[in-house]
Amino acid sequence: MANSNSTINDVARIANVSKKTVSRVINKSPLLSEKTREHVEKVIKEIGYVPNPQARALALRRNFIIAAIHDNPNAQFLVNVQQGILEGISGSEFALMVEPVDRNSPTIVNDVRQFLERQRPYGVVLLPPVSENDELADLCDSLGIRYVRMVSGELDKPENIVMSNDREAVYGAVRYLIEQGHQKIAFIEGPDSLSPAERRAGYDQAMAEAGLLVHDWMIAKGNYTFETGVEAGLALIDGAVRPTAIFASNDEMAIGAIIAARKRGIRIPDGLSIIGFDDTPLSSHIWPSLTTVRWPIVEMAKAAALKLIEDEETDPMLGVGLGSVLIERGSVRPLD
Amino acid sequence: MANSNSTINDVARIANVSKKTVSRVINKSPLLSEKTREHVEKVIKEIGYVPNPQARALALRRNFIIAAIHDNPNAQFLVNVQQGILEGISGSEFALMVEPVDRNSPTIVNDVRQFLERQRPYGVVLLPPVSENDELADLCDSLGIRYVRMVSGELDKPENIVMSNDREAVYGAVRYLIEQGHQKIAFIEGPDSLSPAERRAGYDQAMAEAGLLVHDWMIAKGNYTFETGVEAGLALIDGAVRPTAIFASNDEMAIGAIIAARKRGIRIPDGLSIIGFDDTPLSSHIWPSLTTVRWPIVEMAKAAALKLIEDEETDPMLGVGLGSVLIERGSVRPLD
DNA sequence: TTGTAGGCGTTATCAC
DNA sequence: GTGATAACGCCTACAA
């Protein structure tokens, strides 16, 4: 029998009905006699007919592809997002396409345009940090392609974003350090974009509320990589005043800071407490295990996918303002 | 002006030529007067025409999608493969689709079939360990979809595989330990499938060549996760004889073994040498940094993509038998 | 070198 | 409920 190289015409001919009737069966049209439906379904099964997706896409003027556009080098993050999107589209006809871009390329908008025109996905999820690029959002709009941006602030209309509250999450983590008696709390900042800025704002807020001044020697900067975490950690440790605790804006840099401490012969958490952000698997695999903030990446990505594919009006607030939670492990101890 | 909602007909009408001529311009047909070509190209640019990929796919009976099918939980591995495939298809019209499957699901073949029928990718890359499933390869064949399997042995015709030589790689690593004076070398095995078996074979071979017996207490088993690495490490350390070196079949388990050693108060590498396999970023971010085997994942994936998309006869041996290299870091020291 | 007719496999329109 | 007929936008064959 035919290996799915049979067409709707074959089914129609054999079942002795019109193409349209077969089409109605495929698309589960309600206005159809039960008898014809069963008959046609039987024929479909017999000859192993499968509708051709390309033809369908042409006729419907849409396909069933969601594209994730990213410039994020962190493997775990990327995979988590993919997992979330896949959860969101599971059970539907959609599939996931992945397109990396180079944030620093001057041709980024054109690159993305070319991709979108070539594949014309039904919807696009923009991952941070490239999600903060308004030009890309506008591009999707102008091409008539739906999009959702994963961000840390209200950068767009609610229906076009999913959002985590980074500021609040960091605020909570720094408060936790303060409650443990820490006052000389340093902060390793991420690269220049919204999400890192929000994290910094959470730190500033917690410090201010506790009446603690944020001195220059408390702040170091990295770009989310392990190496810059080591550098920042060394800078802080060797600075004017040695902090008793460090909050790093992501886990990789936190782990870098741990290594930095070790290089200076400081034991964690006895000589220095460290908190990270992300809850990557790494954080529980090192010694000491890392106290960190788990942010809802998977949930955000899933919400993004749902916002893209659901026809009926979904709650525009879906996935907006998802909360984070502090995971207490072994890299923090109270100050005596 | 039209936002790419113009069709080939619009171009034809405005340029005052036939559809076919426009089509020829798009497809860079050689038999076309330079004058018409330029004229048509000018019109195309003016009205911002972009060929509709769905219509193209229908007419050509093919699309420009490569799908990666995987059931691999390791984020770094997955991202590396994606990167390799993307390198392979960069500059082409192809895009990458990602489809996860559940290896333990009884419906796995049907799930994949449904995916393939729905999207009809031009080609498929099967990642390990699901790449060892012959049924899936047969399925692709029966659907007329090209495929390449990433494997560690000659499981299929050369044109359908890319292969790393895991056996040789592990052989080299274990020989290295032996050269450092180690004899009580334990081995943490991976789950039951070809690649772990090959790694084990490399270990056996190196031991045998050196005239070393492989005792029961030298072998533990894990399933590539950190947790099973800890368990296996503890089992080996607490076993009948304590090994002086451990080779773990992947980095995650190696790091688990490091943690296991720490739990028993053993210093690495002074009290125990450890080698991993993969060279995940992790391995350089921990303390001590992990000596490990880097295997050519990215290259394999890239070769796989090239084998799928290249029209002309590509060397069927492309990507077959890629070599690995030992990365010496801080987790091994010679035995006095 | 260019154009015409027809097909790719589906869905939409609008009668019956 | 069902079925001709015409899109959808591109490409191939064959003519001119």
A63 contact B CB<8A: yes
Could A281 and B75 be called an inter-chain contact, meaning their C-beta atoms sit closer than 8 Å? yes
Mean pLDDT for the stretch of residues B263-276: 97
Instruction: Over range B58-78, report the average pLDDT.
Output: 91
Asked whether the predicted pLDDT for residue B195 surpasses 80, the reply is yes
Chain A residue closest in CA terms to B139: A3
Indicate the residue of B54, B95, B281 with minimum beta-carbon distance to A99: B95
A301 close to B (CB below 8 A): no
- Residue B4's pLDDT is 60
Inter-chain CB proximity B65 and A118 less than 8 Å = no
Alpha-carbon distances, residue B312 vs B84, B306, B309 (angstroms)? 21, 11, 9
Write out the DSSP string of B139-174: HHHHHT-EEEEEESS--S-GGGEEEE-HHHHHHHHH
Strand D contact with A31 (CB < 7 A): yes
Q: Residue closest to C13, CA→C1'?
A: A20
- Whole-number pLDDT of residue B276: 98
Q: What is the pLDDT of residue A314?
A: 76
Q: Which residue of A has its CA nearest to B230?
A: A285
Distances (CA, A) of A276 to A147, A246, A330, B90, B286: 30, 9, 12, 35, 15
CB contacts, 8 Å: B252 with chain A: 285
pLDDT in tens, A37-72: 999 999 999 988 899 999 999 998 889 999 999 998
- Tokens at residue A113, please? 């345009």
What pLDDT is stored for residue A2 in this prediction?
A: 40
Q: Which of residues 12-51 of A touch strand C (CB under 7 A)?
A: 19-20, 23, 26-27, 49-51
End-to-end CA distance of chain A: 78
Q: What pLDDT is attached to residue B1?
A: 38
Phi and psi at A240, nearest 5°, equal: -55, -45
| Whole-number Å distance between alpha carbons of B232 and B155 | 29
Q: Which residue of B has its CA nearest to A252?
A: B285
Please compute the mean of the pLDDT values over residues B19-27 and round it to a whole number: 90
DSSP letter for each residue of A25-93:
HHTT-SSS-HHHHHHHHHHHHHHT----HHHHHHHHT---EEEEEE----HHHHHHHHHHHHHHHTTSS
Predicted confidence at residue A1, as pLDDT, reads: 38
CA–CA dist A219, A207 (Å, integer): 13
CA of B292, closest CA in chain A: separation in Å?
Answer: 17
Q: What is the mean pLDDT of chain B?
A: 93
Q: Quick count: other Cβ atoms within 10 Å of Cβ A265?
A: 7
Concatenated DSSP letters of A171-198: HHHHHHHHHTT--SEEEEE-SSSHHHHH
Gap from A134 CA to chain B (nearest CA, Å): 19
pLDDT average, residue stretch B57-81: 91
Inter-chain touch B226–A281, beta carbons under 8 Å: yes
Whether A2 and chain B come into contact, CB under 8 Å, resolves to no
Q: Which residues of B touch A78 (CB under 8 A)?
A: 75, 79
Percent of chain B clearing pLDDT 70 (strictly above): 98
Q: Report percent pLDDT > 90 for chain B.
A: 76
Interface residues 42-71 of A with strand D (CB < 7 Å): 55, 58-59, 61
Rounded, the Å distance between the CA of B3 and C1' of C1 is: 31
> How far does the CA of A18 sit from the C1' of C11, in Å?
13
Using the CA of B60, give the nucleotide whose C1' is nearest: D11
| Angle between helix B166-179 and B194-209 (nearest 10) | 40
Nucleotides in chain C near protein beta carbons (<7 Å): 1-13
Which residues, in sequence order, are bridge partners of residue B273? B245
Q: Which residues of A touch B50 (CB under 8 A)?
A: 117
Chain B stretch 85-104, residues whose beta carbon is closer than 8 A to a beta carbon of chain A: 86, 93, 95-100
How far apart are alpha carbons A119 and A57 in whole angstroms? 11
* Strand C closer than 7 A to residue A8 Cβ: yes
SS3 call for A169: helix
CA distance B55 to chain A (A): 6
Q: Per-residue pLDDT for B122 more than 90?
A: yes
- Asked if residues B182 and B214 have their Cβ atoms less than 8 Å apart, the reply is no
- Kindly tell me if the per-residue pLDDT of B29 is higher than 70: yes
What's residue A3's pLDDT?
52
Amino acid letter, residue A69: I
CA B88 – CA B318 distance, rounded (Å)? 12
CB-based contact A93 B118, cutoff 8 Å: yes
Low-confidence ranges of chain A (pLDDT < 70): 1-4, 311-313
Best to test chain A binding among B56, B74, B117, B118 (most A CBs inside 10 Å): B118
